[in-house]
Structure 1
Amino acid sequence: MTTNTFSLGGDLKINRLGFGAMRLPMSTLDGPTRTPENGVAVVRRAVELGVDHIDTAGFYNRGAVRASEIIREALSPYPEGLVIATKVGPLRGPDGIPSGQAAPGRLRGLVEADLRTLGLDRLDLVYLRVGGITGAGGESIAERFAVLAELREEGLIRHLGVSNVDADQLAEARAIAPVAAVQNSAADGMGLLAECEEAGIAYVPFFTLGGGGNAIDTERLGAVAARLGATTAQVAIALTLASSPVALAIPGTGSLEHLEENQAAGDLVLSDEDLAFLRA
């Protein structure tokens, strides 16, 4: 696999095409549970294909099947150069949906739980995920982000990120500690991309393939895919990577077939005409 690289936080060189672990325990939020053995095979194959950036979270689970435990079983002791990102903040409600938010006093415990589950002494990247399953904005994140900044000073975290935030919330975070990455829904139109480019912050859109209730323009993607002999998912991934040198793609899957397809998108080249058509 060949793709561009990015220096996360200025010191972690990674491929811009990574892997999202959300679908390892289940295909969808209300879909069937996948077996840990399946997840282990997918994660190991992802690394074989060149993935060196895996995005996970402690709340990526279906019952006893947990994405981070699958990652540890598959890869520990971890290969040199592998970057693992996680997210803290959301709390699952009685329905199993991560709709609640952890108060500042609970964040240390969540970070320490991720360290234990992943079998790490330090987490490469920890995002403060804001707002449950709601859209970005509307609340201060300063107190919660300050907790993660303290853990960074203690050496438990290498780099910090924020997820599901607006411009004011990003500014709050940056006033407290360096922000290495922003992970927002693709549905927000890459609204913070210009600021991230200027500051050298990674921009990591999620649901670029239309998950989470976000629709993608399959007609335009399909037209380009047909011309290139690719799939719509591959064109969507290639479009993300073409959007900016700071953009990272983390397509997730629990299928070996889809994993191979997604990673092959790193070699897909979109012409200027393709890009203009897709962005029109």
Structure 2
Amino acid sequence: MRKLLQDRVAIVTGAGGGLGRAHALELARHGARLVLNDLGGEQEGSSLQKVAEEIRRAGGEAIVDGGDVRDFARMQAMAGKALARWQRIDILVNNAGILRDKSFAKMDLDDFRLVLDVHVMGAANCTKAVWDTMRAQKHGRIVMTTSSSGLYGNFGQANYGAAKMALVGMMQTLSLEGEKHGIRVNCLAPSAATGMTQGILPEHALAGLRPEKVSPGLVALVGDDAPTRMILLAGAGSYECAHVTMTRGIHADGADAAEQVCRRLDEIRDRRGESVPGSGWEQYQLELSKAGLGMDDAHTQVLAPV
């Protein structure tokens, strides 16, 4: 078998079980060296230690880290472990996550905040910890774990859905900022049977949604030929792509603008001719052009901070 990630150094958070474990094993199978992270994973006999041993028995290399992704200093230390051992960091898989499902009416805001802290700030902390290294080496592959709950909504998951859609926004911007430095950033939206799905799906469906059926898609997002700004959906051996699109819409102005918008909502959401914007600036360009206020190329350049 051709090893697509030979000698690449990868960090996988939430690697003690479920998707994280499957991701780690698949990356190792393709030749990657692994830093495995999970809360408390450095304790003797932990599930994370067992994943590391499984990789080593198969001839791979893996070290463990038990830091909390919410703690930036611990994530910096984790990145330091990778650099001390292998002198580089090529891949970051932001997989760590939790659920606190309840309808919004019954949800405690502390649970809302906790889910955002783990998923969003956890990914931000880990990404920040590796970002300068990836910029300096002119190579990096970062994957955010989003979800259909964020992309399309899911009852009882306002906190989880908000966090998962926030990761799409982070991916969109970081892919732009990382492009000139050789850093490619993507999202993976898995459908998998893990501890987070037990009791939700019937047994026959869970059997078909093994985490191992998602991880080949991850490999495609972190290899040398990886795309950037892709939202890859994966589950049960199937793969799809999601897009955030913009319709052509209408122009409505004047004293009755609100009435026009109310009356023409069907035209506004008509998907014929919709586009996938290259950046948020394209909304401004489209709207100004429809208003007859289009600008020449010299005025459409966005000055990006260094």
TM-score by length of 2: 0.37
| More helix as a share of residues | 2
* Structure showing greater Rg: 2
Give the structure, 1 or 2, with the largest relative contact order (CA under 8 Å, sep 6 or more).
1
TM-score by length of 1: 0.39
